């Protein structure tokens, strides 16, 4: 049974249990999908983010994830994760895989059935999308995530085509 879906769309329009956000370690909004999610969710999301405890000056370290309420979004939760800045890590694939894993683990822990995900690190953080898609899909296909319906919201036809090709190759 298929539980991974790829669509070209705006993740802020998703109607799911949890929306995954490609955030930064401060977790207080930013550009790209993070900015869009905060704008759509409204001030309640920013307030929830402020309440997340900082560890060593970071609300969320690279490769980790945190969960908050979702403000005005049509979701119960936002799961904020921080992917790698591609050229700042010797093994960005490990950090990216960890960002997806931690996000999906939090979804399971909070009884989510449906999750919307963006192409983490594929914008400002410079991760080549062909490589990112392979890493992301490898994580999502693991047995432990079989109970989740995971929909990737890919921004634009080009990004969708890249992910579809990775999806078909790995099958
Ligand atoms: N829905 C779905 N995908 C989107 C949307 C949207 N509304 N908007 C952008 N994307 P990025 P990163 C795509 O840069 O590379 C932020 O400032 C976008 O086209 O948002 O992980 C954070 O605060 C790209 O394919 O995230 C961090 O500082 C993908 O989402 C930093 O950027 C991810 O691009 C994180 O960089």
Could you report the per-residue pLDDT of 49-63, keeping only the tens digit for each? 999 999 999 999 999
Query: In the structure, what pLDDT confidence band is assigned to residue 171 with cuts at 50, 70 and 90?
Result: low
Residue 44 has pLDDT above 80, yes or no: yes
Provide the sign of the torsion angle of the four alpha carbons 4, 104, 145, 85, taken in this order.
positive
Query: In the structure, what pLDDT confidence band is assigned to residue 79 with cuts at 50, 70 and 90?
Result: very high
Number of domains in the chain: 1
Query: In the structure, what pLDDT confidence band is assigned to residue 8 with cuts at 50, 70 and 90?
Result: very high
Q: What is the pLDDT of residue 62?
A: 98
Residue 120 has pLDDT above 70, yes or no: yes
Residue 170 has pLDDT above 90, yes or no: no
List residues near ligand 1 (CB under 6 A).
10-12, 22-24, 30-34, 36, 83, 118-125, 153, 155, 159
Answer yes or no: 34 catalytic: yes
Q: 140 CA to middle of ligand 1, Å?
A: 19
Query: Is the Cβ–Cβ distance between 144 and 100 less than 8 Å?
Result: no
What percent of the chain shows pLDDT beyond 70?
99
Q: What is the pLDDT of residue 1?
A: 61
Q: What is the pLDDT of residue 133?
A: 98
Query: In the structure, what pLDDT confidence band is assigned to residue 19 with cuts at 50, 70 and 90?
Result: very high
Query: Is the Cβ–Cβ distance between 16 and 76 less than 8 Å?
Result: no
Ligand 1: atom nearest CA of 120 is: 21
Q: What is the pLDDT of residue 24?
A: 98
**What residue numbers bound the domain in which 35 lies?**
4-170
Catalytic residue among 34, 56, 87, 111: 34
Q: Look at the pTM and tell me if it is higher than 0.95.
A: yes
Segment 136-140 shows an average pLDDT of 98
User: Which of 36, 81, 123 has most ligand 1 atoms within 8 Å of its beta carbon, as the pocket-test mutant?
Assistant: 123
Segment 142-160 shows an average pLDDT of 97
pLDDT averaged over every residue in the chain:
97
Long-range contacts of 34-43 (CB under 8 A, 24+ apart): 36/10, 36/11, 36/12, 37/11, 37/12, 37/73, 37/78, 39/12, 40/12, 40/72, 40/73, 41/12, 41/70, 41/71, 41/72, 41/73, 41/78, 42/71, 42/72, 43/71
Ligand 1: atom nearest CA of 122 is: 15
- CATH code of 15's domain: 3.40.220.10
Residue 85 has pLDDT above 70, yes or no: yes
């Amino acid at each position: 049974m298929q539980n991974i879906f790829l669509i070209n769309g705006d993740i802020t329009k998703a109607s799911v249990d949890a929306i995954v956000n490609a955030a930064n370690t401060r977790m207080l909004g930013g550009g790209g999908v993070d900015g869009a999610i905060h704008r759509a969710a409204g001030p309640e999301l920013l307030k929830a983010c402020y309440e997340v405890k900082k560890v060593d000056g970071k609300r969320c370290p690279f490769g980790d994830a945190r969960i908050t309420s979702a403000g005005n979004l049509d979701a119960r939760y936002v799961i904020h994760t921080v992917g790698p800045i591609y050229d700042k890590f010797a093994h960005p694939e490990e950090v990216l895989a960890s960002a997806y894993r931690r996000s999906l683990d939090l979804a399971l822990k909070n009884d989510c059935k449906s999750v919307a995900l963006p192409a983490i690190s594929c914008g400002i953080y410079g991760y080549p999308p062909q490589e990112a898609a392979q890493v992301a899909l490898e994580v999502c296909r693991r047995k432990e995530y079989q109970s989740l319906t995971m929909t990737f919201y890919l921004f634009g036809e080009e990004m969708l085509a890249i992910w579809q090709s990775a999806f078909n190759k790995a099958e």
